[in-house]
Amino acid sequence: MKNKMYKIMIFTLLIIFINSCTQDNILDLKPINNISIDDAFSTPSLIASSVNGMYNAAAIGQYNSSSINGGRGYIWGAAFVQQGDNRGEDVVNTATFYQLTYTNTYDPTTANNVYYWVDGYRLINRANLLIEGVTKAVANGIITAEVGNDYIGQAKFFRAITHFEMANHFARPYNDTPNGAHEGIPYREVGVDTQGEVDEVLKQGRNTVGEIYAKALADLDDAENTITNSDKTKVTKNAAIAFKVRINLHKRDWANVIKEGKKLEGVFSLESHPGNVFLNAYNNKESIFSIAHTATLNPNVNAALASQYKRRLLVCISPIIWNDPEWLVDDKRRYDNDADPLAMVFTSSGRKYTNKYKDVVSYTDPAPVIRYAEILLNMAEAYARSNDMPNALKNLNLVRDRSLADPATQSYISFADAKAVLGAILKERRIEFLMEGRRWSDIHRLQNDDLFPISGVPAKVANGNPKATDFNAGVPYAGALGVTALAKDDYRVIWPIPQIELNANPNLSQNPGYN
């Protein structure tokens, strides 16, 4: 059926809403499939519940049309970490769970990239309906303008970051053409809950990547100016600022990376030990925004970060990065002691695994979306590319030094030139954000780079369990690479538009190579 995906999306939205507001006895009033959008925004408590439903949609998503309790953490709960890791070379997929992503063998029907798209647009639609519903509620005097603007700002945040995240997988990077003039994905700003709106959405084709960035930055400007929430388990104005830093980095707008990053100086700081970041991931000094999970609301055994990365051992650290000599052997981020909660890694059968996600029983570890260490390294890179070496070195050392055994002797003192310091910054990102889903983001944006280009997708250790003898800290990995690199122009560098979307929307074109 032509509009099947959109009807599923609308129905899912209502299910998520119901599950988030049963305390208001909605189920006693109307059948689940007859709840109107107007009812959803008819009282302050229902509006607050609808906002919570948006967060649930971001944290859990759906997978293969299962119930929300079967969600795999699309798009911000766990999947963006796991997919971002497995698209890069610094982890090894040890089983079959992420094999299609890891080996670049996906197609327009592959579930992981299909539901990245589907759940991404479900969340975007939820945000758009929230914006429209809250706007009417303010006009009708149901909630105040201040409360309404706060909610709208949070919704615009999710709309912005979700379009941006999806563009990083389904479109070429911003600098692939001047001003990002090449095809991106549709930037949807209208909520869909009627057949007429479905028909209107079906007329929309793909925005350019440049348009996506402009719209996302505008949404984040609005979010920064309207959000008053200060609860770090939800979106704050500082989260909007932080994402502007990230998007401008991808845009290669170094001046605005620095401008936006300076707004966060003095607001956040680094934890004294890198392990502290993951002991209290919501309220530590450097957490800017993480997706909350609880014992009753998490992506479950098939997606929760502690389940996949610790309990089930489905992804290990790759010897490619583990053995890198630039990662000092006594760095605290190598600390391997499963009995100590500050330990950053643990060993099983001789292989190295992350210990960042610890709760293997209730799966309450949050998904770390953005933290201050990234802002500092983003600014360090922008300073380096702007030939401000003192500030580049300062910000790099702020992040790196807190993990060194002896900063007095191991801290960086100087570099020969901008290229040298940039190389150190990019390596530091691989170490600092290992197993946090950030590697693909860097691979994507560094295509065509003038100083440190990544051409396509790097080669990887073979899918499966590496040998224990492959792990030798400080000794460059020289073993086999069982997953071959993709050239820059290989069509598989970006994901295909899902076939179900193409079937529903004749105005969308497939990414070249997948036809």
* pLDDT tens digits, one per residue of 24-37: 322 233 333 345 78
pLDDT score of 5 more than 60: no
Q: Give the lowest-confidence range in 58-62, 121-125, 133-137, 422-426.
A: 58-62
Predicted pLDDT at 16: 37
- How far is it, in rounded angstroms, from Cα 240 to Cα 154? 9
Minimum mean pLDDT range among 193-197, 330-334, 355-359, 478-482: 193-197
Rounded Cα–Cα distance for residues 273 and 81 (Å): 22
Q: Specify the range with the lowest mean pLDDT, choosing from 38-52, 65-79, 189-203, 448-462.
A: 65-79
Give the pLDDT of residue 65.
55
Report the CATH number that the domain containing residue 86 is assigned in CATH: 1.25.40.390
Arithmetic mean of pLDDT, 20-47? 58
* Across 287-306, average pLDDT: 94
Q: What is the mean pLDDT of residues 34-61?
A: 89
Look at the alpha carbons of 147, 152, 155, 160 in this order and tell me if their dihedral is positive or negative: negative
Query: What per-residue confidence (pLDDT) applies to 70?
Result: 58
* Confidence grade of residue 179 (pLDDT, cut at 50, 70, 90): very high
- Identify the pLDDT of residue 37: 81
CB distance 274 to 340 below 8 Å: no
pLDDT category, 71, cuts 50, 70, 90? confident
Q: List pLDDT tens digits, range 234-271.
A: 999 999 999 999 999 999 999 999 999 999 999 999 99
Please indicate, yes or no, if residue 159 is contained in any of the structural domains. yes
- Note whether residue 243 is domain-resident: yes
Residue 363 confidence (pLDDT) above 50: yes
Query: In the prediction, which pLDDT does 15 show?
Result: 36
pLDDT given at position 315: 98
Q: What does the pLDDT average to over 437-466?
A: 97
The stretch 223-237 carries a mean pLDDT of 95
Confidence of residue 62 (pLDDT cuts 50, 70, 90): confident
Question: Which of 266-270, 279-283, 353-357, 462-466 is the least confident region?
Answer: 279-283
Question: Does residue 425 belong to any structural domain of this protein?
Answer: no
The whole-model pTM stands at 0.93
Tell me the residue range of the domain where 123 lies: 4-253
Q: Is 457 helix (H, G, I), strand (E, B) or coil?
A: strand
Percent of the chain whose pLDDT exceeds 70: 92
**Residue 14 scores a pLDDT above 70:** no
- Separation between Cα atoms, residue 26 and residue 200, nearest integer Å: 30
* pLDDT at position 64: 65
pLDDT at 22: 32
421 assigned to some structural domain = no
In a domain, 367, yes or no: no
Is it the case that residue 331 has pLDDT exceeding 60?
Answer: yes
pLDDT class for 339, splitting at 50, 70, 90? confident
H-helix segments, 252-296: 254-262
What is the reported pLDDT for 54?
96
Residue 116 has pLDDT above 50, yes or no: yes
Length of the chain in residues, anyone? Answer: 515
**pLDDT confidence of residue 27:** 25
pLDDT over 50 at 12, yes or no? no
- pLDDT at residue 49, rounded to an integer: 94
- The helix/strand/coil state of 289 is strand
Confirm whether 38 is domain-assigned.
Answer: yes
Q: Quick check: is 326 in a domain?
A: no
Mean pLDDT of the 210-217 span: 98
Mean pLDDT of 14-24: 35
Give the chain's mean pLDDT. 91
Please report whether residue 277 resides in a domain.
no
Q: What is the pLDDT of residues 272-285, one digit of tens each?
A: 999 999 998 778 99
Please give the average per-residue pLDDT across 89-96, as a whole number.
97
Query: What local confidence, expressed as pLDDT, does residue 247 receive?
Result: 98
- Average pLDDT score over residue span 349-370: 96
How many domains does the chain fold into? 1
pLDDT tens-digit map of 133-165: 999 999 999 999 999 999 999 999 999 999 999
For residue 389, pLDDT beyond 60: yes
Query: Per-residue pLDDT for 61 more than 90?
Result: no
The pLDDT score that the predictor gives to residue 200 is: 82
Query: Which H or E run includes 15?
Result: helix 4-20
Q: Give me the pLDDT at residue 282, please.
A: 79
- Residues 44-73: what's their mean pLDDT? 82
Spell out the long-range contacts of 327-332 with Cβ–Cβ below 8 A and sequence spacing 24 or more: 327/427, 327/431, 327/473, 327/474, 328/404, 328/405, 328/410, 328/474, 329/473, 329/474, 330/404, 330/405, 330/406, 331/403, 331/404, 331/405, 331/431, 332/273, 332/274, 332/275, 332/402, 332/403, 332/404, 332/405
Residue 70 structure tokens? 């079967």
Q: What is the 3-state secondary structure (H, E, C) of 367-387?
A: EEEEEHHHHHHHHHHHHHHCC
Contact 74, 82 (CB under 8 A): no
| CA angle, residues 5, 47, 289, in degrees to nearest 5 | 80
What is the arithmetic mean of pLDDT over 199-204? Answer: 83
Residue-wise pLDDT tens digits, 312-321? 999 999 999 9
Q: What's the CA gap between 243 and 241, in Å, rounded?
A: 5
